[in-house]
Structures are given as C-alpha cells and as structure tokens.
Amino acid sequence: MSSGLIEWLIFLSLAMIAIVTAAGMIITMSMYRAGLALMASFVALAGLFILLNADLLAAIQVMMNVGGMLVMVLFMVMMMMDPGGEMMWGMKRDMHMRGPGALSMHMPSGPPPPEEQEGQLDAGAMSDMDVQETEVGGHDMSDMEMGSMTPRQNYTMMVDMAMSTAQLPWAIVLGVVSALLLVILLILTPWPLAGIAPTQDASRVVGELLLSRYMIAFEGAALLILAGIAGAVLLAKRERSRVQTPPETKQRGEQP
Amino acid sequence: MSVFITPLFVVCVLLVGTYFIAVIEQLLRLGLRSIGIALTLPLANAIRLLYQEDLTPRGADFFLFRSAPFIALAVVSLVALVIPLGPTLIAFNPSIGLFYFIVLLSPFVVAITNAAWSQNSKEGLFATFRAAAYLISYEVPIGFAAIGPVMATQSLSTQRIVEVQAGLWFVVWQPLGLAIYLIAALFVSFRHPFDSALAGSELEGGAFAEYSGGRLLLFKIALAALFLLLMAMGVVLFFGGWQGPVLPGPLWFALKTFALSALVLWLAHFFPRLRHDQMLTLSWKILLPASLLNITLVGILTLTIPVGR
C-alpha cells in the first residue's frame, strides 16, 4: 500500500470517529457519557492535527480538552440531578418512546390542549383525550401508571422533559446550509500556504512569536487569569466565613 | 514493515519491564532471601486472575466499564513510544517528545475515573472524585519539575535531553526538581502514599472494586507499566538516560530505571497513606512553590554555568 492511501484511510477513520462521537454526545442521555464523547471527538481532531504535521497543536488540543472535559464531567456529577441518565432511560423505556436516545424526548408537536375544568371529564372528553395522546409526540401511554393524566398535564410534562426545543427542524436546516457554505468556501478559497513544508520545531517558533509579536496579548491573558484566580479565592473565602463552626466542646462531648 | 514491528517491540519491552516492577514489589515485601518466590509470584497472580470470572456488576455503565482497561493500556503504550532506550533505539522521536509524554498522562486518569464511575457504586463514585482531583493536582508540579531539564537543554526532545547530559547528569544541580518529579510521579501512577483512589482499606479497592479476572489483570499491568514509564522518564530527565561507560546503552538504561524504581518504592514504604485533602495541600501549598523556586534556581544556574551547550 502506498503511504497516500494509508493517510487517506487514517483521515477517514479519524473523521468518522470525530463525527460519530459528536453525534453520540447529542444523542446519549447520560451526562457522563456525553462529556466523554465530546472528549473523544476532540482527541480524534488532535489525530487530524498530527496528520497535518502539527504535533504541537495536537498535544495542546489533548491537554486542554481532556483535562477540561474531565473537570466539566466532574461538576455535572456533583451538581446535576441524574448525571448517569438512569431516570431518563427508565421513562423512555416505560413510555415506549421511539427514536435514538435523547432525541426521542422531543417537544410535543401541535398547539397545547385546552385547560380542563374540574367535573367536565365526561365520556366525550375521555375519548378526545385518547386521540390527542396518540397525536402528542406519538407516545403510547396506555400501559403507564400515569395513565390517568389529563392531556394538558401530559403536554406540560413532555415540555418539561424535552431534550430539544421546538425549533429543532429549523436548526437542522440552518446547520445543513452552513455546512454546505463552508464546503463551498473550502473549495473556492486559494490556500496560499498549502505548498510550503511544515516547520520542524514548532514549539520554538510559537514561543518566539508569543514573546515578540503577540507579547501584549500573551501577558494580558496572564493578567486576566491572575485576576480570575484572585476573584475565585476571594469568593471562596467569603463563603467560608459565613458558615459557623460548631463549638469544639460539644463535639468532644458527643464522643463515647 | 517497521510500522508493525516497532509497536510489537515496544509492547514486549513494556511487558517485561512491568514483570520486573512486580518482582521488585514482591522483593520489598518478602525480603531478599525469598527471591525465588518473588520471581514466580507475579506470574502466578496473573494466571490466577486469568482463571477468574470476568464479572460486570448489575446496573453498571456497560460500555464504559468494559472499555476502561483498554483505554489505560492504550495510553500506556502510546506514552512508551517516546522513551529513548539507546542512541538510535527510540520508537517515535518528535521535537516535543517530553510535552507529548506529559500530555498523554491525563487520559490515563480518564480511564481510572471511567472505571470508578461506571461500576455504579458509592465507593466508585468517591474514587471518581479523588482520581479527578489527582489529575488537577499532579499536572502542574510534574510539568514544572520537567521544565528544569528542558531549560538546561533548550529542547523538548527526549533524545536531545539525554545527549546533553553526557558530561554531567542534571540530578547533580537539580536535586529539588528530581524530588518534585518523583513525588508527582507517585501521584500520577496511584502508588502507595497517594493511592487513596484505589484504597483497599477505606474504599474496598475504589476504582477497581468491581473489577475481576482479565480486566483487573489489564488494569494492574497498566498501573505497573505507568510507574515503570515514569521512572524511565525520570532517568531520562535527571540521570543521563542511556549514557554510561563500558556497557551498551539499553542495559545502562534498564539498570538505572530499575534501581530508581526500587529506591522510590522502598522510600514510599516509610510513609502512611495520605488523605485526599492532605494530598491537595501537599500539591498546591508545597510542591507548586517548590517547583517555582526550582525553576528560578535552574534559570540562574543555566545562565551562569554553561552545561553542555
């Protein structure tokens, strides 16, 4: 096999990994898995950088994103309800929602059903409700424990639980159009640097540029980060001072 | 053909080195007299684990639980590529070799947090938090400790760092850097004083609580191999790598690496296990200022003493 063919194969597989894991990030219900899928997508992009002989960029990409995503996942596990997506999966299974993963929980289509008054649930309304329930998102609610819900309640519940907004079709159209525009730009643009050989010692060149031409931006970023650290420390200190520590004698008294 | 032979060679060297790390551990535990037992016990343990059933706990995140040991092994084998075993014996020699090494250590922590999270247990969740806290606390000290040799060499290439130390090892004038590096290396490889994410006595094994059989064996191999690689990189950075008289380069390198591993494992025996908040305090309040001091000292010394330039 020629090296060009191998390069093409590596490019295609890395690109596939990047796209599939990015899609997986959207589809999965587990926040932990979503964070990991995003991490895998970025690592695949780092592989593409290596393919372009930009190994410094690839290493920076891995360093920034793996650590950053892990901290993000950690915060989701600490702060959010149901980070593993177990509750959502249970609902999807019990309510027989169709569609891959989180995409099955979309916004109900059509206008919201009218608010019911008490005592007006006669036989006609009940049959109406059954029809509407099959219309709303196409969910079969017959064997659910919550089968006694009114259409209005069901509608508001689905709006609360939805993992996408009502603008989903428009977002898809916009995404496809912008992707097409990008591809057209890619083809039409003359790439002036395409014929030049890559630099051998990228770290040296980047370091010299950072400390000469882009020095003000570099030092400014350092100042911003320092201000961020100082602010975080200040906020954390203020929070701690408010918490009252229990007197030590009481703790000692409780010990057997 | 070298595309296929080089990875095979790297994995074989890594497995043999891992076996010797396990032997050193057993020797430290049993004493020098029972060297026969120490030589056979790691193999016996491996065979015992292979015979064990490979269980997946109920309610586990199936995909993450199954894939975690393989992520760990893949990371370890990728890291091993940039270690120079001899003057020409290096699998992958980029100009940013050392940076590549340090960057690829963080996906190993991801493998450990995946293993801990996916087993769907409270012990595992605690281990997740602890392992992620390690990632944040070791990255800065190990990077700053490794900057010392880079400043003296003016290159990030591992091979170049070894070549510059032909006259004088960096440990002679950067002992503080070596100490910080070794402590951070114990952090990274989840070794004894800093192993609270895998603690057997408080978390029932932590990240590995629910692993058994072949997958546990893979994890243990990956952990020992990671320790071996960190010690090898310590030899590259501070002890002149494969440089040495009479004997061939790779042999010198192996001798130095195993001697350093034995020394570090022996010294680690004298310390009790650190609590996670003590570890974070150690990392941020002691190691970070010390490494900044080290960088300042190395900078002054590099400008005043022209070593190997």
Range of the domain at B242: 2-304
- The alpha carbon of residue B44 is apart from the nearest alpha carbon of chain A, in Å, by 36
From chain A, the residues in CB contact with B94 under 8 A are 55
Residues of B with CB under 8 A from a CB of A: 59, 61, 63-64, 94-96, 99-100, 102-104, 106-107, 109-110, 113-114, 117, 120, 125, 128-129, 132, 135-136, 139, 156
Question: Which site among A53, A72, A74 would you substitute to test the B interface, given the most B Cβ atoms closer than 10 Å to its Cβ?
Answer: A74
Q: Comparing C-alpha atoms, which of A105, A117, A124, A99 is closest to residue A132?
A: A124
CA angle B146, B147, B152 (to 5 degrees): 110
Residue A1's pLDDT is 54
Residue with tokens 């850097």: B177
Residue with tokens 């004298």: B270
Confidence of residue B290 (pLDDT cuts 50, 70, 90): very high
Q: When comparing pLDDT for B248 and A40, which is higher?
A: A40
| pTM for the full predicted model | 0.81
Query: Averaged over B241-245, what is the pLDDT?
Result: 80
Contacts of B142 (CB under 8 A, 6+ apart): B102, B105, B180, B181, B184, B185, B187, B188
Q: Structural domain tally of chain B?
A: 1
Cβ-contact A151, A113 below 8 angstroms: yes
Q: Comparing C-alpha atoms, which of A70, A85, A77 is closest to residue A38?
A: A70
Cβ-contact A73, A31 below 8 angstroms: yes
From chain A, the residues in CB contact with B129 under 8 A are 74, 77-78
Q: When comparing pLDDT for A249 and B39, which is higher?
A: B39
Confidence of residue B246 (pLDDT cuts 50, 70, 90): confident
Cβ-contact B204, B287 below 8 angstroms: no
Residue B308's pLDDT is 47
Cβ-contact B185, B138 below 8 angstroms: no
Cβ-contact B221, B15 below 8 angstroms: yes
Residue with tokens 């590995």: B208
Query: Averaged over B25-47, what is the pLDDT?
Result: 84
Confidence of residue B156 (pLDDT cuts 50, 70, 90): confident
From chain A, the residues in CB contact with B120 under 8 A are 84
Residue A252's pLDDT is 47
Q: Comparing C-alpha atoms, which of B123, B104, B133, B84 is closest to residue B250?
A: B84
- Is residue B282 domain-resident? yes
Q: Comparing C-alpha atoms, which of A137, A175, A132 is closest to residue A151?
A: A132
Burial class (CB in 10 A: 0-12, 13-18, 19+), B141: buried
Q: Comparing C-alpha atoms, which of B253, B103, B232, B227 is closest to residue A49?
A: B103
Residue A240's pLDDT is 58
- Please give the structure tokens belonging to residue A15: 């690109």
Q: Comparing C-alpha atoms, which of A165, A176, A173, A161 is closest to residue A92?
A: A161
- Is residue B111 domain-resident? yes
Q: When comparing pLDDT for B7 and B306, which is higher?
A: B7
- Is residue B289 domain-resident? yes
Residue of chain B minimizing CA distance to A201: B95
CA angle B272, B275, B279 (to 5 degrees): 95
Of the candidate ranges A110-114, B143-147, B161-165, B178-182, the one whose mean pLDDT is the lowest: A110-114
User: Is A31 strand, coil or helix?
Assistant: helix
Confidence of residue B175 (pLDDT cuts 50, 70, 90): confident
Residue A223's pLDDT is 94
Q: Which pLDDT tens digit goes with each residue over B54-88?
A: 888 877 778 888 888 999 999 999 888 888 887 87
Dihedral sign, Cα of residue B140, residue B142, residue B143, residue B145: positive
Q: Inter-chain contact A62–B125, Cβ cutoff 8 Å?
A: no
Task: Using 70 as the pLDDT threshold, list the residues of chain A that sit under it.
Answer: 1-2, 99, 116-149, 194, 239-256
From chain A, the residues in CB contact with B104 under 8 A are 62
ipTM rounded to 2 decimals: 0.80
Residue A135's pLDDT is 44
Q: Is B60 left (phi over 0), alpha (psi -120 to 50) or beta?
A: beta
Beta-sheet strands, E only, within chain A: none
Residue B2's pLDDT is 73
Cβ-contact A37, A22 below 8 angstroms: yes
Residue of chain B minimizing CA distance to A204: B155
Residue A118's pLDDT is 55
Find the helix packing angle between B2-30 and B62-80, rounded to 10°.
100
Query: Averaged over B242-258, what is the pLDDT?
Result: 84
| Chain B touched by A229 (CB under 8 Å) | no
How many CB atoms neighbour CB B255 within 10 A? Answer: 13
pLDDT at B42 over 70: yes
- Is residue B309 domain-resident? no
